[in-house]
Chain A
Amino acid sequence: MAMATIGNNGAARRVEDEIFKQGRDLRGAGFRMVLLAALAVSTLILIVLLVQVLTDGWPVIDERFGDFWSGTLRSRSSDDALGISQGIAGSFWIAVFVAVLAFPIGISAAVYLEEYAPRNWLTSVIDIAIRNLAGVPSVVYGLLGLFLFVKTRDGNSSLMAGGITLAILVLPIVVITAAEAIRAVPSSLKEGAFGVGATKWDVIRSQILPFAAPGILTGTLLSLSRAVGEAAPLILVGAITGRLAPRDGSFFGADQFFDRFTAMPIVIVGWVQQSGRDEGFAAAAGAAIVVLLAFVILMNSGAVLLRNYFEKKRG
C-alpha cells in the first residue's frame, strides 16, 4: 500500500488515517437498527398469525376441504354439512355491492372535488368531513345501516342491507385515495393538453384518469379488502352467526338479495364464539380464516399487478 502523505507544513499526515472509515455515523447505524426492528416486529406478528390459524384449521383443510367449502352453518361442529358456502356467497355479493356502488360514486366525487369544485370554505369543510368519515368506527356505519335498511323493512335483515352498508363504509376511503391520486397528476400534463385546445372533459378523460388510474385502483381494491373483512357493521344489520338453513337456488344467485345472510367474517366470529362449548368449531374457524386470508391476499395481489400494468402503460 502506498504511504501517501498530505500536508506541506511540519509533520506529514497519512491519507489513510483521514479517509478510512472511522465509525462516524453511529447514530445513523443505530437508527437503521431501530427501523429494522420495527419491520421485524410487524413481519413476525404476521407470521405468528398465519402459523396459528394454519395449525388450528389444518385438520379441516386437510381432511374435508371439499365438504367444508360447500357446507353451511350448522349448530354442531361434528356435523358433516358444516361449511362456509353461505359465507363465501355473502362476502362475494358484498364485494359486488361495494364495487358497483362505492367505486363509481367515490371516484366521481373525487374527480369533482379535485377538478371542478371551487376552492372555498365549503369545499374545505366537505374535505375535512370526508376525512373524518373515513375514521368513524365501523360499528357506527352498522347502526346507520340498521336504521336505514333494516328497520324500514320491518326489521328484516338482508344481504342487500349488508352490502349497501359496507359500500357506504368504504366510500370515504375511496374518495380520499382517488382524490389523492388525482391531485398527484403533474400540472404540466394538464397544461400540455389544455394548450392544444383540449376541453376540461378531454383533459380528465385522456390525461388525468389514465395517469391517476394506478393510484385509484390501489385505493379502491384495498378498500374492497377492508369491506370484505369487516364484521362489526354486519352484526348490527343482522347477519346470521348461529345456524342458517341452506337455501334453494344457486350458490351466487341474485335471488338471495332480500334473504337472511351471512359473510365470511361473521362465520368466523360465530364459530370462535361457539368454540367455547364445542371445541370442534375452533378448527373450523381456523380454516375459515385461512380461506378469507387467501381471498384478501389474492385481491391485493391483483391490485398490485393491475397497478404495475397501468404504471407501465403510462410510461
Chain B
Amino acid sequence: MVNVTPSVQDALKGTRVDEDATTATDDIAITVPTAAASSGPQDEPSGDDLVFDVSELSVFYGDFRAVRDVNMKIRRNEITAMIGPSGCGKSTVLRSFNRMNDLIPTARVAGNLLYRGVDLYDERVDPVEVRRRIGMVFQKPNPFPKSIYDNVAYGPRVAGRKKGLDEVVESSLRKAALWDEVKDRLQDSAIGLSGGQQQRLSIARAIAVDPEVLLMDEPCSALDPIATARIEELMAEIKAEYTILIVTHNMQQAARVSDRTAFFSVELDEANDRRTGLLVEYTDTAKLFSNPDDQRTENYITGRFG
C-alpha cells in the first residue's frame, strides 16, 4: 500500500500546486477522524468483494477543503448510493473515484483511496486506464455530436479496438435497454434522441469499454419520472455485472435502488463562510432509512433539514 504524501500529490499535478504545498501539509496534519464518520457496516468485506477501500479521504480545491473524513468500503456488484444536501461534496467524492477531479487544475486529494488494493492517487497510476475500468455517467446527458453508433463505439475505439465494434455496440445498447429503440437508426445523430434515451446512451457508452465500476452522478435529475424509472430498472438489471456508485438528490431513489447508502452532510464554518462536506453515516440502505445511528441522518431523512 502506498500512502499519498503531499510530494506525490504535487508531482502529479505539476508545478502549479507547489505554491500550495505548505498549506497541504498543514491540512493533512489536522485531518483527524471523528466518531461519527467511522460508523460503518458490521460485516467487513474483503478480498474480491472489496472494490474500493476509502479511508480519511479529503478533497481540496486550492487550499479550501471541500470534503473531509470520508471512510467507505465499496462492495462488488452492489449499488452504493450517496445522498445529502447540496454542497455536501458527494459529487466531488464520486469524481475522485475515477480521477475526474484531475480535470480541475486546483483539485487535490488527501487520504487513501484504494481500488483493488492500489492507491488510485499513486503517481504511477495512469488516470486514463483508471477511467476505462471505472466509467462515469453524468448528471446531464452528454452525447457526443456524432452518430448513435459512434457514441457507443467511442470508448472501444480510443482504447485501440478496431474489430468487433458492431457486436460491442449492439450488446452495450441492449444492456442499456436502448437497442430496440435505435437499432434502425444507428447512424442518426445522438443529439436527436430524447433526454431519457440520451442518458441510456451515456450508460451504453460507459459500459462499452467493459468497466468494472460505474459512477453515476445524479443520472436522473434531468429526466422525467418515466425515464427515471427506466434507468432505475436498468441499474437493477446490470448490477449483476457492475459495481455501481450513484449520487442522488432523491432519497426515494436511493432507498429504491441501493444496497448501501452513504449520507453526507455539510458543516458551515461561520468565521470563513465556507462549507465543508463530510460523511456522516454509511450503512445498509434499509437500516439507514429505518433506524439510522446518527441524529443528523435521522433529521435529514425525516425532512427536518436539508
Chain A residues engaging chain B, CB cutoff 8 angstroms: 118-120, 186-199, 202, 206-207, 210-211, 313-315
Q: Is the CB of B158 within 8 A of A191?
A: no
Q: Is the CB of A195 within 8 A of B100?
A: yes
Whole-angstrom CA separation of A303 from B98 in the bound complex = 41
Q: Is the CB of A189 within 8 A of B142?
A: yes
Whole-angstrom CA separation of A206 from B150 in the bound complex = 11
Q: Taking the complex as formed, is B262 at the interface, i.e. its CB lies under 8 A from any CB of chain A?
A: no
Q: Is the CB of B14 within 8 A of A118?
A: yes
Q: Is the CB of B155 within 8 A of A197?
A: yes
Known contacts A192-B143, A196-B135; 19 further A-B pairs (Cβ under 8 A) = A118-B14, A119-B105, A192-B144, A193-B154, A194-B100, A194-B131, A195-B136, A195-B206, A196-B131, A196-B132, A196-B206, A196-B208, A197-B129, A197-B132, A198-B128, A198-B155, A199-B158, A313-B145, A315-B192
* Binary flags per residue of B176-217, CB closer than 8 Å to A gives 1, else 0: 000000000000011110000000001001101100000000
Task: Report A-chain residues with C-beta under 8 Å of the C-beta of B131.
Answer: 194-197
Whole-angstrom CA separation of A197 from B209 in the bound complex = 8
Point out which of B140, B145, B146, B159 has the most chain A C-beta atoms below 10 A from its C-beta: B145
Q: Is the CB of A189 within 8 A of B144?
A: yes
CB distance from B208 to the nearest CB of A (A): 7
Residues 106 to 128 of chain B near chain A (Cβ within 8 Å): 128
Q: Is the CB of B202 within 8 A of A194?
A: no
Q: Is the CB of B142 within 8 A of A188?
A: yes
A315: which of B100, B136, B191 is its contact (CB, 8 Å)? B191
Q: Is the CB of A197 within 8 A of B158?
A: yes
Task: Report A-chain residues with C-beta under 8 Å of the C-beta of B154.
Answer: 193, 196, 198, 206
Task: Report A-chain residues with C-beta under 8 Å of the C-beta of B138.
Answer: 188, 191-192, 195
Give how many B residues have a beta carbon under 8 Å from the other chain's beta carbons.
Answer: 34
CB distance from A123 to the nearest CB of B (A): 11
Task: Report A-chain residues with C-beta under 8 Å of the C-beta of B132.
Answer: 196-197
Q: Taking the complex as formed, is B103 at the interface, i.e. its CB lies under 8 A from any CB of chain A?
A: yes
Task: Report A-chain residues with C-beta under 8 Å of the C-beta of B145.
Answer: 189, 210-211, 313-315
Q: Taking the complex as formed, is B15 at the interface, i.e. its CB lies under 8 A from any CB of chain A?
A: yes
Q: Taking the complex as formed, is B16 at the interface, i.e. its CB lies under 8 A from any CB of chain A?
A: yes
Whole-angstrom CA separation of A206 from B158 in the bound complex = 9
